[in-house]
Amino acid sequence: MKKRSLVFSFVWLACGSVVAQTDDYKPMDNYKLEQVLVVSRHNLRTPFTWNNATLARSTPNSWPKWNENGNELTTKGGALEVYMGHYFRVWLQNAGLLPEVGCPEKDDVYIYSNSRQRTVATAQFFTVGAFPSCDITVHHRPLPEKDTWDSMDPIFNYVITNKDSSFKELTRKAMNDKLNSLNLESSYRLLEELIDYKNSGSCKEDNKCSLIEAKNTFIVEPGSDPNISGPLKVGNSMAEALMMEYYEGFPLEQITWGKVLSPQQWQQLMKLRNGYQEIQFSAPMVSQNLAKPLVTYISNTLIGTPKEDSPKLILLVGHDTNIATLLSALQAEDYQLPHQYETTPIGGKVVFQRWSNKNSKQDFLKIEYVYQSVNQIRNAEKLTLDNPPQHVTLSLKGCPINAQGFCLWSDFEKVLKTALR
Least Cα distance to 100 among 30, 20, 18 occurs for 18
Of 9-18, 111-120, 150-159, give the lowest mean pLDDT range.
9-18
Average per-residue pLDDT for the chain:
90
Residue 4 has pLDDT above 50, yes or no: no
Is residue 8 assigned to a domain?
Answer: no
Same domain? For 240 and 274 the reply is yes
Same domain? For 154 and 171 the reply is no
Is residue 10 assigned to a domain?
Answer: no
Mean pLDDT calculated for residue range 275-293: 92
What pLDDT is stored for residue 358 in this prediction? 87
What pLDDT is stored for residue 215 in this prediction? 95
| Residue 387 pLDDT level (bands cut at 50, 70, 90) | confident
Cβ 53 vs Cβ 61: under 8 Å? no
| Residue 385 pLDDT level (bands cut at 50, 70, 90) | low
> What domain count does the chain have?
2
Same domain? For 140 and 221 the reply is no
Is residue 61 assigned to a domain?
Answer: no
In this structure, what is the dihedral angle of CA atoms 291, 161, 317, 108, given to the nearest 10 degrees?
A: 70
Write out the residue range of the structural domain in which residue 355 sits: 23-55+66-159+284-401+412-419
The catalytically annotated residue of 225, 320, 363, 391 is 320
Residue 96 has pLDDT above 50, yes or no: yes
In sequence order, what are the residues at sequence separation of 6 or more whose Cβ sits closer than 8 angstroms to the Cβ of residue 116?
Answer: 42, 71, 143, 147, 152, 319
Residue 10 has pLDDT above 70, yes or no: no
Same domain? For 269 and 301 the reply is no
Final residue in a domain of this structure, among 244, 261, 281 = 281
Residue 13 has pLDDT above 70, yes or no: no
Final residue in a domain of this structure, among 281, 301, 328 = 281
Residue 24 has pLDDT above 50, yes or no: no
Residue 398 has pLDDT above 90, yes or no: yes
150 vs 163 pLDDT, higher one: 163
Residue 412 has pLDDT above 80, yes or no: yes
Same domain? For 223 and 269 the reply is yes
* pLDDT tens digits along 130-152: 999 999 999 999 999 888 888 89
Query: Rounded to whole angstroms, how far apart are CA atoms 152 and 325?
Result: 16
Mean pLDDT calculated for residue range 89-107: 92
Same domain? For 33 and 83 the reply is yes
Is residue 386 assigned to a domain?
Answer: yes
Determine whether 42 is an active site residue: yes
Is residue 12 assigned to a domain?
Answer: no
Cβ 307 vs Cβ 354: under 8 Å? yes
Indicate yes or no: pTM above 0.85. Answer: yes
Residue 249 has pLDDT above 90, yes or no: yes
Same domain? For 39 and 152 the reply is yes
Final residue in a domain of this structure, among 245, 266, 281 = 281
What pLDDT is stored for residue 27 in this prediction? 39
Same domain? For 273 and 289 the reply is no
The catalytically annotated residue of 42, 86, 140, 391 is 42
Is residue 87 assigned to a domain?
Answer: yes
Is residue 6 assigned to a domain?
Answer: no
CATH number of the domain to which 49 belongs: 3.40.50.1240
| Residue 182 pLDDT level (bands cut at 50, 70, 90) | very high
Residue 205 has pLDDT above 80, yes or no: yes
Determine whether 334 is an active site residue: no
Residue 28 has pLDDT above 90, yes or no: no
Residue 8 has pLDDT above 80, yes or no: no
Residue 320 has pLDDT above 90, yes or no: yes
Same domain? For 147 and 291 the reply is yes
Same domain? For 316 and 384 the reply is yes
Is residue 243 assigned to a domain?
Answer: yes
Least Cα distance to 194 among 251, 238, 231 occurs for 238
Same domain? For 174 and 221 the reply is yes
Query: Rounded to whole angstroms, how far apart are CA atoms 179 and 34?
Result: 42
Same domain? For 275 and 290 the reply is no
